[in-house]
Amino acid sequence: MSRTLAFLGLGAMGWPMAAQLARHTKETGGRTLVWNRTQAKADAHAREFGSEAAALPEVAAADVIFSCLPTSAEVDEVLTALGGQLRAGAVWVDCTSGQPEAARRQAAGLAGRGVAFLDAPVSGGPGGAAAGKLTVMVGGDTAVLERVRADLAFAAKVVHVGDVGAGFAVKAINNTLMAVNMWAAGEGLAALARTGVDLHAALDVINASSGRSYPTEALIPQRVLTREFPVTFQLGLLAKDAGIAAEVVQDARASAPVLTQVAALYRAAAHSIGAEADYSAALKLVEQMNGTEIK
Amino acid sequence: MSRTLAFLGLGAMGWPMAAQLARHTKETGGRTLVWNRTQAKADAHAREFGSEAAALPEVAAADVIFSCLPTSAEVDEVLTALGGQLRAGAVWVDCTSGQPEAARRQAAGLAGRGVAFLDAPVSGGPGGAAAGKLTVMVGGDTAVLERVRADLAFAAKVVHVGDVGAGFAVKAINNTLMAVNMWAAGEGLAALARTGVDLHAALDVINASSGRSYPTEALIPQRVLTREFPVTFQLGLLAKDAGIAAEVVQDARASAPVLTQVAALYRAAAHSIGAEADYSAALKLVEQMNGTEIK
Amino acid sequence: MSRTLAFLGLGAMGWPMAAQLARHTKETGGRTLVWNRTQAKADAHAREFGSEAAALPEVAAADVIFSCLPTSAEVDEVLTALGGQLRAGAVWVDCTSGQPEAARRQAAGLAGRGVAFLDAPVSGGPGGAAAGKLTVMVGGDTAVLERVRADLAFAAKVVHVGDVGAGFAVKAINNTLMAVNMWAAGEGLAALARTGVDLHAALDVINASSGRSYPTEALIPQRVLTREFPVTFQLGLLAKDAGIAAEVVQDARASAPVLTQVAALYRAAAHSIGAEADYSAALKLVEQMNGTEIK
Amino acid sequence: MSRTLAFLGLGAMGWPMAAQLARHTKETGGRTLVWNRTQAKADAHAREFGSEAAALPEVAAADVIFSCLPTSAEVDEVLTALGGQLRAGAVWVDCTSGQPEAARRQAAGLAGRGVAFLDAPVSGGPGGAAAGKLTVMVGGDTAVLERVRADLAFAAKVVHVGDVGAGFAVKAINNTLMAVNMWAAGEGLAALARTGVDLHAALDVINASSGRSYPTEALIPQRVLTREFPVTFQLGLLAKDAGIAAEVVQDARASAPVLTQVAALYRAAAHSIGAEADYSAALKLVEQMNGTEIK
């Protein structure tokens, strides 16, 4: 069966994800349409990977439409722009790190036109996308997931986590756990720095002990101790994700004093350090709060 | 050179650590004296590993005295009991998860009798001790460390982290990072449980993503989801460690809102769930706070 | 000009507020209709204060409709029930401690039918209502406020604080500040109790010093030290208000680590102590967390 | 009976307190010795109030010695300098906002020389001191308190709160409650500012409602909204007081997540805004964290 896939949003993640789709449809005899707000980027993608640059209305013809945009607000915009053009029987797969409440609203709107919706955010970073090794956490109907599972060419692991919105909820919690683990490690290292402990030695020990986490093993050694803070994922987007986690907590009438405190601190970091900085630069606020450097 | 080592405190960690020392001195022609508050335990250790059960005054004759006790208060007690009997030239290696301030005070007291002091807490758990694979974080003089390095038979990795007290500081921070990572994961999972997400699926995703940490990879799946909470490390001791981290922060005039909040929450868990419960049972307080179970 | 007022919701606050309206319209030659989910309460109000018990559709004829319900969800329900029956030119004054987002949505919906909306939550408690001495914080158009100002017979102080939703936002922040001040005082007293300080003496000092607040001056001496915890305002409703404050913070992209932490703790108290308990019973969770009593 | 009083430390509080003592001893036929690190200040005090400037050794002759210094560390310094010169039967009354642990240590040291000790910190500010209207919270033996009660000429209210150290503990908790109440109000106002609410109107409402506290009634209107932040009590000293509260909590094995979080935030403010700024300038950190001004 020849499939037409569409991919909306060729950012740091979307670009390599769409490349995997193009490779996949080339092998299976289908087509991959790509759209980006800046058209030139779509043209470049087509030249490099054999996808087809499309105007927004054209993607309405696809069997499966993937979106990977900064926030749910941009997904709302493309949905509004596409209006009634989507065709019944299509599946919309939103890989944005979006809001569960938006997913439920969008799914309800699309259902009225006969279009199914899955929230399907990913983890693994641009490297994982380029290698086709992403993890996808899917919210929505399992039967719908089965209709598109073979199309998720960018994924090494696909996990169904619940109803519509559950994918976004798990993604927001995951990113916020990472944010907590990084911030706490920053606090601990700043305190140790003030007592004269060598931080490379401290991290060496922690990474051989129970305090280890992804930030102590990778982010802090590579981005903070080096003072490089290379921008691969913006601080403002992580603050947004932590805010979504706070919404998940609030909507569930849950009690999460640590997650919500940390969400507040990342919001503070985005305001005071800059939303465009790398997310690891949140620790610059920890440094200011402690009058010391983590190096 | 024939060495006499002494080991004080044959608890969950001390028992296998002292066994490693006994194996080591057997190979190198030395002796390992063991002392425990309950004498029968020392006798049993001697029978099983070829160490020698000793009365407290007898350990004063050792070249190197190791202590591994619940808190710095018990170390103070044995130091007081030994009084002036320690001999000049000996080295005291305290593997307790102790307080930096106590280490500085104890080191100063011992220095007056010509005894050197290292704070040398360990990580790796009873399993790591039995395998001789512990990580040791050492505070104190590097020359003193070199005098005893060959005696650290329970260690796979020895890291000098700073002056006297620095080992305890790093250990307290490490354990508190673990405590933060576990508590935050508990909050996130409780919120997801309230929204109907399957927690096994959520952990599956998190452990393939950036939110992973030692508690999400090992503790929560093995101890919490199973509802077993097996007691291997008491909640009260972890609350004590987090309290030491709070002291480190306070003494350094550092600012650590997340670490100190979490220290307060573990203290609350020790009060409300019970100090003798397993440390993973701290998440029972998270469950009560959320009116749900993490399972 | 003879005015017809309607009042929906005869709870602890609504009952005396509606009584003030009835007294006022008796003096000015108008009518006050009252509606309550339980009709018998409206009948009793009519007998006692000369108001008129009304069925829900009948209130649609009023010039000004006041609502004072547990949450915005109940306001949504009565709005839906009244459907298209409201008449153009009426003003809806919602005295509920509601959600700003709901206010904006409700105002937009009513505007389509020619009905103006003000969010106008109150403070001062049942006693203040009975005395006609409430403070009203009003969000919405100032011209609309002037059209109903003379009808606010329960108020001693009316403050316009901003656009639609601003009244609810200020109310939520006010209640959350009270919640913070009470919780912090509870923590401080619990710590002092554990050190053997007499809490009556401590409160005597604090209330003559800079640490004083409404909870230390009134709530804790009257409700907690006495161990009475009389139910006048439910803990679950205060947890809801703190949750609204958290939504205000999130919607404003603000950073409020203390407010959001305390919102989480009140949610925890509602789950573990009980949502129907008096709001001062939140300090029972503080007591459990500290293994002591505040008395 | 003619009494000789001594007062050490003529700062913002000590200067008017010592003036009250001088007035009192003039009336009762005694003497008031004053000492200050900068001798010129003591000379000026003597000229203005009829006290007698004294060298440090001379104060050892007094019946009652008052100290009012920045921290317990400075009290340790004068105690060391006075060495064995204090005479048995004297009473040392420390009005510093000191550390309970230091009080216990100092009291034990003085007891060995026959000198009694009371920790007696005050509240009411320089204005209260000048009017002789301070509140004094006293820790120590009640019999000792009775021996000096008539000498507390700067006090309108004297409350015995417990054993040695209890006065300092209550003072630290009081100041930290004020700090919590101010910070929380700052967060709430910053969030409201971001939503377009007029902050003068918001404070007008809050101060007529349950959210009111000393900071909302006095500090924020007078110091923050005016953008004046006049330096009357240094931010670094309030951060120190909050740190003492954290020590009280830790020593008592209490759980105070809000107090300790706020202690961390004031430490952060002292590092990032400056320890010499007025304590109300802590809200400048709230402003930075929110990208807005409280005005």
For residues B54 and B90, state if they share a domain: yes
Do the Cβ atoms of C288 and B267 come within 8 Å?
A: no
Nearest to D265 by CA among D292, D243, D234: D243
State how far the alpha carbon of D166 is from the alpha carbons of B81, B141, D173, D208, in Å: 32, 39, 10, 34
Structural domain includes residue A91: yes
pLDDT of the residue at C1: 58
Structural domain includes residue B91: yes
In which residue are the tokens 């931080």 written?
A199
Q: Which residues of B touch D260 (CB under 8 A)?
A: 246, 257, 260-261, 263-264
How far, in Å, CA of A237 to CA of A269, rounded? 12
Joined tokens for residue A69: 């945009």
255-294 in A: which are within 8 Å (CB) of D? 257, 261, 264, 267-268, 271-272, 288-291
User: In sequence order, what DSSP letters do the residues of D8-40 get, joined into one string?
Assistant: E--STTHHHHHHHHHHHHHHHT-EEEEE-SSHH
Catalytic residue among C171, C240, C284, C295: C171
For residues D96 and D65, state if they share a domain: yes
What stretches of C155-215 show up as alpha helix (H) in DSSP? 166-194, 199-206, 214
Question: Residue D2 above 90 pLDDT?
Answer: no
Tell me the CATH number at A210: 1.10.1040.10
State how far the alpha carbon of D287 is from the alpha carbons of A87, A142, A256, A268, in Å: 49, 47, 24, 9
| Long-range CB contacts (within 8 A, 24+) of D37-43 | D37/D9, D41/D10, D41/D15, D42/D10
For residue B291, the SS3 value is: coil
Do the Cβ atoms of A258 and B213 come within 8 Å?
A: no
pLDDT tens digit sequence for D48-97: 999 999 999 999 999 999 999 999 999 999 999 998 899 999 999 999 99
Q: Is A171 part of the annotated catalytic residue set?
A: yes
The mean pLDDT of D196-221, rounded to a whole number, is 97
pLDDT tens digit sequence for A267-291: 999 999 999 999 999 999 999 999 9
Do the Cβ atoms of D255 and B268 come within 8 Å?
A: yes
Do the Cβ atoms of B268 and C261 come within 8 Å?
A: no
Q: How confident is the model at residue A1 (pLDDT cuts 50, 70, 90)?
A: low
Q: C interface mutation test: which of A187, A260, A285, A286 has the most C CBs within 10 A? A: A260
Q: What are phi and psi of C129, to 5 degrees?
A: -65, -45
Nearest to C24 by CA among C147, C149, C166, C118: C149
Structural domain includes residue D185: yes
Q: How confident is the model at residue D1 (pLDDT cuts 50, 70, 90)?
A: low
For residues C63 and C26, state if they share a domain: yes
> Smallest CA–CA separation between A53 and chain D, in Å?
40
> Smallest CA–CA separation between D84 and chain C, in Å?
31
Residues in contact with D225: Cβ distance below 8 Å, sequence separation at least 6, in sequence order: D199, D200, D203, D294, D295
Q: Which residues of C touch A243 (CB under 8 A)?
A: 250, 253
Q: Which residues of A touch D271 (CB under 8 A)?
A: 288-291
Asked if D251 has any chain C CB less than 8 Å from its own CB, the reply is yes
For residues D13 and D135, state if they share a domain: yes
Do the Cβ atoms of C256 and A265 come within 8 Å?
A: no
Q: Which residues of B touch A210 (CB under 8 A)?
A: 123, 174-175, 178, 214
How far from chain centre, in Å, is Cα D28? 27
> Smallest CA–CA separation between C211 and chain A, in Å?
24
Q: Which residues of D touch B243 (CB under 8 A)?
A: 250, 253
86-115 in B: which are within 8 Å (CB) of A? 100
β-pairing verdict for C64-67 and C91-94: parallel
For residues C284 and C143, state if they share a domain: no
Do the Cβ atoms of D264 and B246 come within 8 Å?
A: no
How far, in Å, CA of C244 to CA of C250, rounded? 10
pLDDT tens digit sequence for D212-260: 999 999 999 999 999 999 999 999 999 999 999 999 999 999 999 999 9
pLDDT of the residue at D42: 98
Do the Cβ atoms of C250 and A255 come within 8 Å?
A: no
Q: How many CA atoms lie within 13 A of A164 on its CB side?
A: 20
How far from chain centre, in Å, is Cα A11? 11
Do the Cβ atoms of A260 and C263 come within 8 Å?
A: yes
Q: A interface mutation test: which of B122, B142, B173 has the most A CBs within 10 A? A: B173
155-214 in D: which are within 8 Å (CB) of C? 157, 159-163, 165-166, 169-170, 173-178, 180-181, 183-185, 187-192, 194-198, 201-202, 204-206, 208-214
For residues B178 and B151, state if they share a domain: no
Q: What count of residues does chain A have?
A: 295
Structural domain includes residue D295: no
Burial class (CB in 10 A: 0-12, 13-18, 19+), B112: exposed
Which residues sit opposite C155 in a β-bridge?
Answer: C134
To the nearest 10 degrees (0 to 180), the angle between helices A257-272 and A235-251 is: 150
Q: Which of D163, D187, D203 is the last residue of a domain?
A: D163
The mean pLDDT of A138-146, rounded to a whole number, is 98
How far, in Å, CA of C75 to CA of C84, rounded? 15
For residues C204 and C127, state if they share a domain: no
Mean pLDDT of chain A: 97
Do the Cβ atoms of B191 and A160 come within 8 Å?
A: no
Q: What count of residues does chain B have?
A: 295
Do the Cβ atoms of B254 and A187 come within 8 Å?
A: yes
How far, in Å, CA of B263 to CA of B260, rounded? 5
Asked if A232 has any chain C CB less than 8 Å from its own CB, the reply is no
State how far the alpha carbon of B294 is from the alpha carbons of B200, B282, D146, in Å: 10, 12, 58
Q: Are B82 and B68 in contact (CB under 8 A)?
A: no
Joined tokens for residue A182: 């990084």
For residues D87 and D199, state if they share a domain: no
β-pairing verdict for B64-67 and B91-94: parallel
The mean pLDDT of A100-114, rounded to a whole number, is 97
Q: Which of C128, C163, C198 is the last residue of a domain?
A: C163
Q: Cβ–Cβ contacts within 10 Å for residue D51, how many?
A: 26
Q: Which residues of B touch A257 (CB under 8 A)?
A: 187, 261, 265
> Smallest CA–CA separation between C161 and chain A, in Å?
25
> Smallest CA–CA separation between B80 and chain D, in Å?
20
How far, in Å, CA of D205 to CA of D211, rounded? 9
How far from chain centre, in Å, is Cα D184? 22
Structural domain includes residue A295: no
Joined tokens for residue A279: 């997310």
Nearest to C249 by CA among C142, C161, C177, C158: C177
Q: Which residues of B touch D243 (CB under 8 A)?
A: 250, 253
Do the Cβ atoms of B256 and D250 come within 8 Å?
A: no
pLDDT of the residue at D84: 83
Q: Which of A163, A179, A203 is the last residue of a domain?
A: A163
For residues A85 and A194, state if they share a domain: no
Q: Which domain holds residue B212?
A: 169-290
For residues C175 and C129, state if they share a domain: no
For residues A109 and A42, state if they share a domain: yes
Residues in contact with A147: Cβ distance below 8 Å, sequence separation at least 6, in sequence order: A91, A116
Question: For chain A, how long is the longest CA-to-CA vector?
Answer: 66
How far, in Å, CA of A159 to CA of A122, rounded? 10
Question: For chain D, how long is the longest CA-to-CA vector?
Answer: 66
> Smallest CA–CA separation between D70 and chain A, in Å?
22
β-pairing verdict for C155-162 and D91-94: unpaired
Structural domain includes residue A206: yes
For residues C23 and C100, state if they share a domain: yes
Nearest to C177 by CA among C229, C248, C84: C248
Q: How many CA atoms lie within 13 A of B114 on its CB side?
A: 9
pLDDT tens digit sequence for A29-56: 999 999 999 999 999 999 999 999 999 9
pLDDT of the residue at B248: 98
In which residue are the tokens 């007029």 written?
D198
The four Cα atoms C140, C146, C151, C157 give a dihedral, to 10 degrees, of 70
Mean pLDDT of chain D: 97
> Smallest CA–CA separation between C4 and chain A, in Å?
38
Total domains present in chain D: 2
Do the Cβ atoms of B268 and C290 come within 8 Å?
A: yes
Joined tokens for residue A171: 């993604």
Mean pLDDT by 10 residues, chain B (295 residues): 91 97 96 97 98 96 97 97 92 98 97 97 94 97 98 97 98 98 98 97 97 97 97 96 98 98 98 98 98 97
Burial class (CB in 10 A: 0-12, 13-18, 19+), D225: middle
Do the Cβ atoms of B261 and D260 come within 8 Å?
A: yes
Structural domain includes residue B295: no
Catalytic residue among A171, A240, A284, A295: A171
State how far the alpha carbon of D225 is from the alpha carbons of C249, D221, D222, D268, D293, in Å: 20, 5, 7, 22, 9
List the catalytic residues of D: 171
Tell me the CATH number at B76: 3.40.50.720
State how far the alpha carbon of A12 is from the alpha carbons of A124, A172, A231, A234, A266, in Å: 12, 18, 11, 11, 22
Beta strands in chain C (DSSP E): 4-8, 31-35, 52-53, 64-67, 91-94, 116-119, 122-123, 134-139, 155-162
Q: Are D171 and D164 in contact (CB under 8 A)?
A: no
CA-nearest residue of chain B to C271? B291
Question: For chain C, how long is the longest CA-to-CA vector?
Answer: 66
Q: B interface mutation test: which of A219, A258, A285, A294 has the most B CBs within 10 A? A: A258
Structural domain includes residue C295: no
Instruction: State which residues of chain C have pLDDT below 50.
Output: none
Do the Cβ atoms of A257 and C261 come within 8 Å?
A: yes
